[in-house]
Structure 1
Amino acid sequence: MLTHVLGKKQLSQMTFFTYITGIALGNIAGDMVVHRDIKLIDGVTGLILWALLTFTLEFISLKSSKARVLLDGEPTIVIKNGKILEKAMASNKLNMDDLSMLLRLKNIFSVKDVDYAILEPNGQLSVLKKVELEPVTKKDLKITSSSRLYLPTELIVDGEVVKKNLQELNLSEEWLNQQLLLQGIHKLEDVFFAELQSDGSIYIDKKTDNE
């Protein structure tokens, strides 16, 4: 509950600060379970106080850019215009093996393919390839494309209709049943998974037991 109150940023451990606070919350909770000499009320009080402290500091960081830099850190450019910045690498305790590994995780196997590389506060590497190596887009090829009608959304999971998603899409169960009939499916129980596609069509995966 406390982690939920602190928000999704805490769950993802996006920054050094959220990483440390997450470990601290887990450690306090673990001590409550392992050490029998710790009273339940003392453990809960510790959890609440730590969560309040974390929430307060996060709120301050939202209001103050200086506090945000202090708590979350700043991104660091480690490759600029194809040139490796040795000082930036050293200040972040990053060696060439580390950099090569982070680049491979981006499916880049040569430093010469990189125009810019930025080490983010969470330790991830953001990479901008050289212009000639960037993937071609429809805009580059001047191909016209229609806008998406829907965001791909689950409609049936394990034979059960996801009514909430239907309501959000302003679609009815009658419409869904008609779509199933058009694909030769007469019983909802025969469907394991169904997903509405961006163009309005439906992808259906039938239960193998019923084939």
Structure 2
Amino acid sequence: MSDFFEMNFWEMIIRTTISFAVLLFLARLLGKKQLSQLTFFHYITGITIGSTAAEIASQKETPFIDGLISLVWWSLLTLLMSYLSLKSTKVRILVDDEPTIIVKDGELSVKSLKSARLHMDDLLMMLREQSIFSIQDVHYAVLETNGELSVFKKTAQQEATKIDVKADVSLPVFMPSEIISDGKIVQKNLLELDLDEEWVMRKLRKKGIESVGEVFYAQLQTNGSLYISMRDNGI
């Protein structure tokens, strides 16, 4: 009995490890589109691939090789459809659909709402999420293929830019970057910013800090100053 249990245990460990490695490889192969542009097609593809991997790892009744073949083949089909989508507009529309104009020239399209199967309450919620509480403030609203609503406000409702108010539009000296994390200098960011530890220490000493270890977190600001949070900070 113990030998049988031990055999099952190690079999599951091996199946899970191989499934994990294959899934990781396939996820890298499929690219970032699964996350950044999660259309319904990519959503069901991701769920199916994950479910197949889980089935291989946890179900002893599932033939291991058959499960791996299914997992790899499904991923290859996804890659094939992604490639065809890049080459053909018709295939792209078939796979991902196309954006739907919900509001045009300030007018709500009831027909588009129905074709997108979008309830009015849902539309109003999506507008409120963008701080828009009246449809009258919208010039164009487009329902994207990933379910997000892109909105172009009427000119009178648009926020003023720095150019509009004649504010300073010069480029920042630095990009906000993590300099110290949990009492340790982030060397990679210093290197990218062409800075060194001596520069960091000069900034710290100006604030009466003698050791990097006293700092919990420090972030470089656009003007070259440091935002510093000490270890003993409390609210």
Q: What TM-score results when the alignment is normalised by the length of structure 1? A: 0.92
Alignment of 1:90 onto 2:107: no
Does the 8 Å contact 1:13/1:22 carry over to 2? no
Does the 8 Å contact 2:163/2:169 carry over to 1? no
Does the 8 Å contact 2:56/2:62 carry over to 1? yes
Could you say which residue in structure 2 is the equivalent of 1:202?
226
Of the two, which has the highest radius of gyration? 2
Could you say which residue in structure 2 is the equivalent of 1:163?
187
Alignment of 1:58 onto 2:56: no
Does the 8 Å contact 1:81/1:116 carry over to 2? yes
> For residues 116-173 of structure 1, what are the alpha-carbon distances to aligned partners after superposition, in whole Å with 9 as ceiling and x for unaligned?
1110001011111111111111111122332111221111111122111111111112
Q: How big is the shift at 1:13?
A: 4.9
Q: How big is the shift at 1:4?
A: 2.2
SS of the equivalent of 1:109 reads coil
The residue identity in structure 2 corresponding to 1:17 is F
Aligned length in residues: 210
In the alignment, structure 2 segments of 5+ residues that lack a partner are 1-23
Alignment of 1:6 onto 2:30: yes
The residue identity in structure 2 corresponding to 1:130 is K
CA spacing shift, 1:9–1:166, aligned 2, 3 Å? same
Identity across matched positions, percent: 47
CA spacing shift, 1:39–1:184, aligned 2, 3 Å? farther
Rounded to whole Å, the distance in 1 between the matches of 2:94 and 2:30 is: 19
Rounded to whole Å, the distance in 1 between the matches of 2:82 and 2:135 is: 36
Alignment of 1:18 onto 2:47: no
* Equivalent in 194, 211, 217 of residue 193 of structure 1: 217
Alignment of 1:55-134 (within 5 A): 55-134=79-158
Could you say which residue in structure 1 is the equivalent of 2:175?
151
Rounded to whole Å, the distance in 2 between the matches of 1:40 and 1:107 is: 51
In the alignment, structure 1 segments of 5+ residues that lack a partner are none
The residue identity in structure 2 corresponding to 1:19 is Y
Could you say which residue in structure 2 is the equivalent of 1:136?
160
> For residues 57-83 of structure 1, what are the alpha-carbon distances to aligned partners after superposition, in whole Å with 9 as ceiling and x for unaligned?
212222222222222221111011111
Alignment of 1:45 onto 2:53: no
> For residues 76-120 of structure 1, what are the alpha-carbon distances to aligned partners after superposition, in whole Å with 9 as ceiling and x for unaligned?
110111110011111000121111111111111121211111100
SS of the equivalent of 1:121 reads coil
Q: Which moved more, 1:39-48 or 1:58-67?
A: 39-48
The residue identity in structure 2 corresponding to 1:36 is K
CA spacing shift, 1:19–1:38, aligned 2, 3 Å? same
Does the 8 Å contact 1:3/1:11 carry over to 2? no
CA spacing shift, 1:45–1:184, aligned 2, 3 Å? farther
